Structure 1
Amino acid sequence: MRVMIAEDSVLLREGLTRLLEDLGTTVTAAVGDAEGLLRAVAAAPPDVCVVDVRLPPTFVDEGVRAALVLRRQWPDVGVLVLSQYVEERYAVDLITGQASRGVGYLLKDRVSDVADFHAALGRVAAGGTALDPEVITQLLVRSRRRDPLERLTRREGEVLRLMAEGRSNAAIAASLVVTERAVEKHVTSIFTKLDLPVAEDDHRRVLAVLRFLDSTDATADRPAAAPDTTRGPHDV
């Protein structure tokens, strides 16, 4: 496993390098800023990058913004973000972006076992995920504060409910007494309103259902919509 490290603290950077090398991992570069990381990756892409959120010169968000650049330009390179805080504004983009494989977000203060950290790094390098439970909790709280389902029409809400039950487009069309083409249009609209980008596989459907399940009123609080009797079988 080939690893690059971007960490402004010399002690932490050198410490991570030594720990990983002692575990048999090859550290191909260890840099102190985001620009250095991007240059190093462009020259020789590794399997995974370990990136601190706050890097020079402003120590605000250079690291996580560099991580997003890595996800866009080198989607085969895993990215494991290390931070003292959950940067909600960028964490959502990092975790749910179009290149949604090979990503991790761990909080520094909660990394207490070297073997666990090395295992998480290996999962990310292999295309898996490694998310701190606190990160997940904060992102769920954020999604509940701003319910994305409020943007859906009543019919789109009905379609999403049936998607959450695992029904195919054909089964949804039969249940709602509309054409399958109409269901496809509603599903596309749902993806757009939930800010789910186009992808080569079906993970958008899964993400849409997850957002439905994570919504505060997706089950008990949101009343079931009555069948729409004002439209015929060609409802779109």
Structure 2
Amino acid sequence: MTRVVLADDAVLLRTGLRRVLETEGLTVAADVGDAGQLLRAVADHRPDVAIVDIRMPPTWTTEGVRAAAAIQRDHPRVGVLLLSQHLERREALAVLEHRGAGGVGYLLKDRISDIDGFVAAVLRVATGGTAVDPVVVAQVLRRPAALAGVEVLSAREREILSRMAEGRSNAGVAAELHLAERTVEAHVRSIFTKLGLHEEPDSNRRVLAVLTHLSGG
């Protein structure tokens, strides 16, 4: 059974999310109102996923992002799903680029109108996948590096990219598709080249490739 820790300073929203998740069969191990309580709850309960509001007390700025980064560092198998009232592009990239073995996601609160879709996103992140709001994807990809869409990729490359979006490493993709790891590495390099994703000090090509896949572009 999927175990969740919720962190949001808004009691009504937190209570509503808990009710939705428990109705759908997930276990909410804890729901808390600030980043310190979140980190303690994750350490105590070791959930499959932490759902984290970006802005929490005491400053209501980036406490949630810092807590998410700490979870990724100290509990790399715990998925992190960020919720935000507004798009925070830099914060989105910070969390998306530093994922561990756990999944990662970024959803905008005002755009969550489909309960089934929200629960599916939580489950995807809990099992190592990626769930990012299309608006976030569009903003993150608004850069010269992402020039091409996935239609330029071969069928095998698209298959590999879809596994990358599920959180698989090159070794994991190789094992699942019964390919040599060096073959997967060659395909990944080809994906980067075809999508126009060159090595840059301030970007993570793997994240940008996955976001291109998620955008359907």
1:197-216 mapped onto 2 (5 Å cutoff) = 201=171, 215=196
- Structure 1: unaligned runs, 5 residues or longer: 149-163, 166-198, 218-236
**Partner secondary structure for residue 3 of structure 1:** strand
Residue identity in the other structure for 1:125: A
* TM-score, with structure 1 as normaliser: 0.63
1:213 deviates by 5.1
Residue identity in the other structure for 2:13: L
Q: What is the distance in 2 between the residues matched to 1:205 and 1:131?
A: 27
Q: What is the distance in 1 between the residues matched to 2:94 and 2:187?
A: 17
* TM-score, with structure 2 as normaliser: 0.68
Residue 77 of structure 1: aligned partner: 78
Q: Structure 1 segments of 4 or more deviating over 4 A? A: 199-217
Q: CA RMSD in A?
A: 3.0
Residue 52 of structure 2: aligned partner: 51
Q: What is the distance in 2 between the residues matched to 1:213 and 1:126?
A: 29
Question: Of the two, which has the highest radius of gyration?
Answer: 1
Q: What is the distance in 2 between the residues matched to 1:71 and 1:39?
A: 14
CA contact (8 A) 2:77 2:101 kept: no
The 1:213/1:200 distance shift into structure 2, 3 A limit, reads closer
**Partner secondary structure for residue 141 of structure 2:** helix
- Structure 2: unaligned runs, 5 residues or longer: 147-152, 155-168, 172-180, 199-217
Q: What is the distance in 1 between the residues matched to 2:121 and 2:52?
A: 14
The 1:58/1:123 distance shift into structure 2, 3 A limit, reads same
1:119 deviates by 0.8
The 1:207/1:6 distance shift into structure 2, 3 A limit, reads farther
The 1:74/1:216 distance shift into structure 2, 3 A limit, reads closer
Residue identity in the other structure for 2:114: D
1:35-50 mapped onto 2 (5 Å cutoff) = 35-50=36-51
Residue identity in the other structure for 1:124: V
**Partner secondary structure for residue 118 of structure 1:** helix
* Count of aligned pairs: 168
Residue 8 of structure 2: aligned partner: 7
